Amino acid sequence: MAVLCKCHPLQSSKLLSRILAYVSIRLRDNESKVTEACRTLVSSVVLHIVPVHSVPTNTTDDSTSGDAKGIQVHGDDIWLQVFETVAAPLLKDSNAVGENATKCLCSVVQPTEFDGHTLPSDEILLAHATRVHSFFKSILSASVAKMNGSTMYASFSPVFLLLQSACQLAHEVNSRCGFKELFVCIVPYAGFIFEAIEDVFQYAPREDWVLRKRGIELLTMLLEYFALSDDAIAESTKESVFETLSYVGGMIQYLQSAKLLFRRS
C-alpha cells in the first residue's frame, strides 16, 4: 500500500479514509513489525498523498507536484485541515491502542522512507516542513498542554516521543534546508518542556525507565539542537532559549546525583 501511495498518489488519495481505517485496525495487532509497517504506510501517505489530497480537481498537474510553489497557492489553513484529517484517527486511537498510534503520529510529523529510518531528500523534506508548519504548531501546543500542571507522569512518555520527532524534524530541516520556522515554533515551549522533564525525574515512579530514558533523550536534543549549537537558530530566538536554561542546571545536578547516563543510546 505504501508503494501504491508513492507511485499512484492521486488515485490513492481517493482511498485515504480506507487506508487510515486499515492502519487503525492493524495497530491493534500490537506487534512491533506490524506497527513499523503502519508507520511506513503513514509516512508514504504524508509524503505522497497529502500534497495531492488538498488540490482541487480542476488544478493543473503543476500544482500537484508538492513543491514550494504549490504549497503557497493553497495556504496554511488547507494544509492544516489535511494533516488533521490524517492525524484524527491516530489521535483517537492513542487512547485505545496506546503508543502504537503515537508512533504513527510521529511519522505524520517526521515521515521517513520505506526503510523506516532514512529521511527524504532535501527538496521533499523542505516541502513537507512547509506543508506541516501549521499542524506542527497545533500538535506542539496540544502536546505541551497535556503535561502542563499534570501529575499523570505515565502519560508523558508518548508526549516525549512525539516531541522528539518534532525536535528532530526542526533540526534536520534547519540544518539541511535553512528552514527555521519549526525551530521558532518550539522556542516558546522550551521552558515548559524542561519543567516537565524535571518533574518526571523528581516525582515519577522510578521503575518507569522508558519514561526516564525518553526524558533524557528529549533533554539532550533540546540542549544540542537549541542551546549549544551556533547554527541552531537565529540570535533573536536563541536568546529566548537561554532564558529557560535555569531549569537545566537543576536537572543536570539531579541526573549527576542519581548517577544516570546523560546520553542517547
**Cell numbers standing for residue 10:** 492521486
Instruction: Give the separation between CA 156 and CA 8, rounded to whole angstroms.
Output: 38
pLDDT score of 196: 92
pLDDT score of 144: 94
Model confidence at 233: pLDDT above 70:
no
Closest CA to 110 of 68, 31, 159, 172: 172
pLDDT score of 9: 93
Give me the phi and psi of 165, to 5 degrees please: -65, -40
| pLDDT band per the 50, 70, 90 thresholds, residue 29 | confident
Instruction: Give the separation between CA 88 and CA 18, rounded to whole angstroms.
Output: 13
Model confidence at 111: pLDDT above 70:
yes
pLDDT score of 95: 63
Q: What is the DSSP letter of 154?
A: G
Q: CB 245: neighbour CB atoms within 10 A?
A: 16
pLDDT score of 251: 54
172/63: higher pLDDT:
172
pLDDT score of 224: 85
User: Which of these ranges, 4-13, 154-163, 234-243, has the smallest mean pLDDT?
Assistant: 234-243
Model confidence at 259: pLDDT above 90:
no
- Tell me the per-residue pLDDT of 120-139, one tens digit each, with 9 for 90 and over: 999 999 999 999 999 999 99
43/54: higher pLDDT:
43
pLDDT score of 255: 53
Model confidence at 154: pLDDT above 80:
yes
Phi-psi region of 108 (alpha: psi -120 to 50; beta: other; left: phi over 0): alpha
| pLDDT band per the 50, 70, 90 thresholds, residue 77 | confident
Please compute the mean of the pLDDT values over residues 49-78 and round it to a whole number: 55
**Which helix (H) or strand (E) element contains residue 58?**
none
